[in-house]
Every structure is written in C-alpha cells, then in structure tokens.
C-alpha cells in the first residue's frame, strides 16, 4: 500500500507557472504516494491545513510554495514527528537552502520519494514557532523595505537593493543579551539569531557554520560604525561564508546558546522567518528535534564563538 501524504500547494508562490508546477509534482509523486492535494487561499492558514490533513490520516505532509508557506506548515508540524517534504517555489528559497534541501522540483520530489528523514531543531521566539532565524535592526528594516511587488519583479535582487538602501541610514543601538550564565551588553547595528540560515543570510553567518540539529541557536552581532565600514563588513561576511570560514572582522561577533533574551535601547523591529512580528524585547528558545523533514544525507560543521573587538562590550557573569 502506498503511503498517504497531503500536498499543501501555494499557487501564487514564485514566478513560474503554478498549473505546470503542480502537474509536474503530481506526475513525479503519484506513482509512489497516495497524494491528496490542498491548494492554499488567502483564508487558509497553511499550518492548520497540515493539522487537518493529519487528522484525515496523512502520514506525511508535503509543502510547495515560498518560504512563508513552508515555515507556516513546519510550524503546524512542530513536535508531531510527522515528516515534512519541501518543494520550494519561492523568491529566495531560504528554507530549502538553510536545511541543505534540493531546490528544483524534480530533485525535491526524488528526495521525498527516497524517504530518508532527518530530525532538525526548531525554536520559539516570543511564543511563535521559528524554523530559520530572527533578525533585529538592519535585517528587519531590509525585509520591510523589500515589498511584495519588488520581490515579484526582481526576486533576490529586491533584498539586495533594499539592503544597500538601508546601509545609507545605518543606526546603532544598545543591546543586552541574557544567557543562562551571563549578561552581555554591546552596541550593534544588527543582531541575528539563527536556528538554520542559508548562505544568502550573511548577517547570520559570523561563524560561517550555523548548525540546525545540535540543540543550539547561533547569534551573530554586526556592529559597523559607519556606512562605509558596513559595506566592507557585508562583503567580508559574504566572502567568509562562501569560503566556509568565520569572519575575522572586529565588527562581527558570534556566540551560541540554547536560549537568548534580548533587549534593545531604543526598541527595534524584529523579523521572524521573513515576516515582521513586532518590536524587541524577544525571548528565543531552541526546541531540539522539533521537526522531521525528508532530506538527503549531509555532513556536519564545527560551530564557533567570538566576541572580542565589539564596541562597548561588557560581560557580566551571573552568580
């Protein structure tokens, strides 16, 4: 008997032909999987569609759409042990790239049919499920500037243009980062806390090695003093990420913990998995093994930490 799966399909994701994409997915999966197709609408919350499909007897969920759809479905499956298949068709495909998943329809379907699963972490940010990352400051402002129309017309270029526009109005703020054993005070222009992050999310790549199945979160602090230094720091982060080595710039610091409580002065916007959710403060906690995905085999990386050189750095050890 073929396994029963529900495909949650977002027809407005990406820039391709949705009807052709759906037909291709069905042709690749139907022979191996008893596939139910549910098409999302503006009134449907993808996470609830996943929960309802499980109640109808689905033994796995397959999501096809942009990062917003994929993150919402993943949130609906958190802690369920129900495998999630990912078929990315969005602008950035950050979800698939962060988790080392195939980004073409044929390769993604082949991975799902192969049936190999991997357990990865999730997180909760102010009580909201998080698969990828939370950004404070620069990244949140950049995401807000890259509006839907720009993303539809320009794809990833929309984020790049928004980033360069934001650099021109770079502002630092004061940050207090509370861990289990210490409190860190520092000045920053961007704080990124990642459970998983694609290489394109350079502000999360201080250590060039975000690990998504180790029960830990990776925090990167970026603190350039001027727009010119910000541009140089961004290029350094991109270069070090592509080479797979940690950034050596004094403007970049990184550390790891299973939980961070972050307060800023003044309050800063927060983006969570690509969506603005409000303002600081935030409390983020890793949920080890919170999600099961269909995935190829991958090799791990060695995580790192470094804070020295950041402006106005103070570390207070807890009793």
Residue 121 falls inside a structural domain? no
Strands (E), the chain: 4-9, 34-39, 60-65, 84-88, 117-125, 128-130, 133-137, 173-178, 182-188, 190-194, 217-222, 252-257, 259-265, 269-272, 275-279, 282-294, 314-317
Residue 293 falls inside a structural domain? no
Question: 149 and 98, same structural domain?
Answer: no
Question: 190 and 255, same structural domain?
Answer: yes
CB 237 within 8 A of CB 280: no
Question: 249 and 156, same structural domain?
Answer: yes
CATH number (domain holding residue 242): 2.60.200.40
Question: 305 and 174, same structural domain?
Answer: yes
Question: 204 and 155, same structural domain?
Answer: yes
Residue 66 falls inside a structural domain? yes
Tell me how far CA of residue 310 lies from CA of 187, 307, 314, in angstroms: 8, 6, 9
Domain count, the chain: 2
Q: Output the pTM of the full model.
A: 0.84
Span 218-237, average pLDDT = 81
CATH number (domain holding residue 32): 3.40.50.10330
pLDDT number for residue 145: 47
Span 11-22, average pLDDT = 89
Residue 120 falls inside a structural domain? no
Question: 172 and 51, same structural domain?
Answer: no
pLDDT band for position 299 (50/70/90)? low
Percentage of the chain beyond pLDDT 70 is: 87
Question: Looking at 57, 87, 115, which one is the last position of a domain?
Answer: 115
Structural domain of 25: 4-115
pLDDT number for residue 143: 54
Question: 150 and 85, same structural domain?
Answer: no
pLDDT band for position 68 (50/70/90)? confident
């Amino acid at each position: 008997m073929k396994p029963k799966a529900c495909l949650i399909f977002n027809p407005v994701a990406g820039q391709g032909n949705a009807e052709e994409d759906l037909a291709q997915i069905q042709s690749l999966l139907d022979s191996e999987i008893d596939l139910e197709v549910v098409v999302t609408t503006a009134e449907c919350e993808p996470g609830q569609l996943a929960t309802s499909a499980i109640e109808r007897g689905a033994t796995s969920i397959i999501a096809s759409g942009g990062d917003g759809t994929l993150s919402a479905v993943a949130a609906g499956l958190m802690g369920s042990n129900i495998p999630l298949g990912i078929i990315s068709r969005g602008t950035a495909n950050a979800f698939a790239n962060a988790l080392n998943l195939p980004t073409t329809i044929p390769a993604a379907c082949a991975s799902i049919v192969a049936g190999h699963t991997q357990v990865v972490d999730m997180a909760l940010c102010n009580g909201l499920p998080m698969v990828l990352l939370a950004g404070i400051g620069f990244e949140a402002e950049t995401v807000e500037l890259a509006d839907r129309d720009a993303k539809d017309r320009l794809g990833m270029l929309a984020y790049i243009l928004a980033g360069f526009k934001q650099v021109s109005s770079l502002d630092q703020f004061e940050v207090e980062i509370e861990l289990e054993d210490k409190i860190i005070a520092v000045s920053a222009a961007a704080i990124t806390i990642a459970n998983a992050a694609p290489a394109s999310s350079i502000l999360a790549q201080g250590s060039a090695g975000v690990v998504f199945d180790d029960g830990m979160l990776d925090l990167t602090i970026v603190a350039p003093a001027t727009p010119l230094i910000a541009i140089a720091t961004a290029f350094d982060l991109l270069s070090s990420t592509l080479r797979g080595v940690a950034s050596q710039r004094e403007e970049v610091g990184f550390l790891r913990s299973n939980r961070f409580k972050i307060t800023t002065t003044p309050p800063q916007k927060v983006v969570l998995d690509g969506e603005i959710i409000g303002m600081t403060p935030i409390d983020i906690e890793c949920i080890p093994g919170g999600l099961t995905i269909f995935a190829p085999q991958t090799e791990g990386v060695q995580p790192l930490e470094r804070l020295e050189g950041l402006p106005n750095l103070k570390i207070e050890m807890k009793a």
